[in-house]
A and B are shown apart, each in its own frame.
Chain A
């Protein structure tokens, strides 16, 4: 964007970047909102709706001399196009002149709106979009005011067509702009929407199975310029003008998507503030203006009636309700009695403030080990050293750049990264996908690499020479290394090998270069910076302490082997959103608040520290975990309890080097972002909201700071080897699952697969198993799960791919061996 050209908009000259779109430039530089319906700044223009008509011409230059030709008044002569042009399909060029305020343009706009309304039902009073509808707004601004149409002559079509389980289509509201179709095609690559029929009867259809089969369907409801597409979640739920927008962060994955929680005081929630819907909030560095359907439809757990609402302490062997005072006294006594043999395990969606106060509490007791849960992904320390450089924007990757994705199924683990990296490939980035099985990302890859499960680090070190060369020579290189099909040691080896590759090829310490990992949960990197590690978790497992504090980590639901060592812990103090198997065996089970009810921060996979704000009314007596830890510390005589999350963060900034400069005020900073969506002109970018809560601050890596990095020696671990009759059991991620923080989102249930295991066709033939058969997967003799067999080409020979969180029983977290039997 270095070259500039001069264009004239309504008689004023602007200097704008060459090669850019006229509508975008008019808005950005001249504050001139050219009305659009089909154009969207994130997609290629199609010129379908004609709403953006302008008068356009060019300054006349003498062919020979190249001099600008002047008219009799000494002004440059303009050669006008005989007809109005669609601004959305114009690329700016030197000498371009447009007029947007003439009678001809006004008439054109009025006519286009009138034409669109001839087939529109005008049912704004019952439309979800009413109040924030581009068609409504543009009709008010440019429309004719009255209609010449006889209402009875209107084309009437179906109003409640389910496009799959999550999105409804109102056929007669559709103005046929194809934004939804183009979004699915261009941006997502799930080509599951299309037009059917033609003319007035034209409608959107989906023929996929299940309908509208994609993880990004909700975004179409944001960019649809009318109320034709609405979500099953929000349909008829509230009017937009009753809602207050509260900035927040998606609590489900490492992307840290910026969201806006639309809340209102609601009768359905006892008059308390209640989340009515989740909307995207623009952060071009993180999620642009998109969110996955898990982010959008995964908020119901915050209001689940199953939430733990009162503190419980064990009295005479039974968990009994108590007041907070009683509970705090009880826990303090237990902590004292443990004699310093105290450890803690925190789940990967625990906010930074909670982690810090928990660490202070444990350290204050002379305890030590701080475990990260789940202990599946190693190498957060390496990401802190050679992670993607500060200022990284996956949206910048393109021609000349490269991305290697290894040992992860990004579609299921971090869908927003998958979306953005798919687009990087579209822009010309060299995308290599390496895994032991085919994953969705293969569809977008320039090259794919296969290796045997367990051998990811080895594969990383021994990449095909031609592929390695292209990666090394790329201008920018990002490696996304996951932990699929690995043990924790295997994961560490892979992260080391990936870090070495980046260091050797010089792809560290600058934006758009470095290492990423799809850590589970929303705060995988926060765990690292606050001193929690998966290695410590393993030590805790081997050497259980007298007292263990478990915060938002469902050890027994996640790990079939946890009971063995957990039984050896004398006292468990559990803090969780829900009562679970751990809280049932705990001495005290304390209710804590979810991300929706409190302030806090998460550190996303790109190490961006981002704030979320209190949005929803409280659930029972639940408190934010930081407050509980802080009060316990005070009761133990370790100084005054903190009174706010902001105060906790201030303390963090003073004690954790990486967090210096992360005061809440800094995290709340915003800047104008391109494209400029979310203003009054909803028609431009859709209903993604403007970012008013902060863009967050990215932590610098060691490499960014020019410090020495140390990766350590790569030890290729022995990977589990199946004996005769056994297979490798490979846990994999499934985005829509039955985890406690997603299960309450009932509307997504039809999309959650029945528990299954994917088996290779050769193994299946040997065991006489067919797709649909019930099989039992047996591990370590005593652990069994019964699931359906799938023989769909999704598993390499000798491996049973077992998605996590689909069954009621815990399934393995990391690579292991097992047997499969038909039942």
Chain B
């Protein structure tokens, strides 16, 4: 079976592998690469990482399951983590989150019908002083309100369309 990751990301993979005496130590960065390639940790991605790290796929899957920043289900192209922990909540994050969900017409943890956005609430992301905040595909966006949010969503939607058209 061809190992897509090994072919496409040879240099980055080598970079991570070379840092450790044991291949398996590089499993976490390689899982991020797999997630980047497939959008989530698909069975294929798990297999490939297992092969690269010389581990049983079961152990790789276990690591993917333990950490919340790995996606084990296919989700939206943009993965939004909105902090609703106490300091953010004091700055109105809960209302903000509810508005965002209503705007997208989904429930907590849900994905929009077009598959563009998945939205979840999370614990403190260490940006309390800039609340309300969220991270989108692991990039922070701070001092948010719904106006700003709508702009961001439009922008991401466009990016998603552009990406889709490029594919055709």
Contact = CB atoms under 8 A, between A and B. Distances in A.
Q: Do A and B bind each other?
A: yes
A196 interface: yes
Contacts of A208: 56-58
Interface string B14-38: 0000000000000000000000000
B66 interface: yes
Nearest to B56: A191
Interface string A201-237: 0000111110000000000000000000000000000
B56 A192 contact: yes
B100 interface: no
A207 B57 contact: yes
Contacts of B60: 207
How many residues of A sit at the interface, in one of the four size bands? 10 to 19
Contacts of B46: 207
A208 B56 CA distance: 7
Contacts of A115: none
Contacts of A193: 58
Given A191-B56, A192-B56, A197 B65 contact: yes
A195 B60 CA distance: 10
Contacts of B62: 194-196, 205
Interface residues of B, number: 12
Contacts of B66: 195-198
A192 B56 CA distance: 6
Contacts of B55: 191
B57 A196 contact: no
Contacts of A190: 56
| Residues of B contacting A: mostly | helix
B61 interface: yes
B4 interface: no
A195 B57 CA distance: 12
B47 to A, nearest CB: 9
Contacts of A205: 58, 61-62, 65
A274 B1 CA distance: 46
B61 A196 contact: yes
Nearest to B59: A194
B58 A192 contact: yes
Contacts of A192: 56, 58
A197 B62 CA distance: 7
Nearest to B50: A207
Nearest to B63: A194
Contacts of A197: 65-66
Contacts of A194: 58-59, 61-62
A187 to B, nearest CB: 15
A155 to B, nearest CB: 16
B58 A191 contact: yes
A206 B60 CA distance: 10
Interface in B42-74: 43, 46, 55-62, 65-66
Contacts of A207: 43, 46, 56-58, 60-61
Given A197-B66, A198-B66, A207-B46, A191 B61 contact: no
Interface string A472-508: 0000000000000000000000000000000000000
A193 B62 CA distance: 9
Nearest to B55: A191
Nearest to A194: B62
Interface in A146-194: 190-194
Contacts of B65: 195-198, 205
Nearest to A198: B66
Nearest to B67: A198
Nearest to A206: B58
A205 B56 CA distance: 12
A209 B55 CA distance: 14
Contacts of B59: 191, 194
Nearest to A211: B58
B160 to A, nearest CB: 29
Contacts of B57: 207-209
Nearest to B64: A196
B56 to A, nearest CB: 4
A206 B62 CA distance: 9
**Which of A191, A193, A207 gathers most chain B CB within 10 Å?**
A207
A502 B93 CA distance: 77
Contacts of A206: 58
B41 to A, nearest CB: 11
Interface in B142-161: none
Interface of A: 190-198, 205-209
Given A198-B65, A208-B56, 7 more contacts: A192-B58, A194-B58, A194-B59, A194-B61, A194-B62, A198-B66, A205-B61
The 5 closest A-B pairs by CB, nearest first: A194-B62, A196-B65, A207-B58, A207-B57, A191-B56
14 contacts: A190-B56, A191-B55, A191-B59, A194-B58, A195-B66, A196-B61, A196-B65, A196-B66, A197-B65, A197-B66, A198-B66, A205-B61, A207-B61, A208-B58
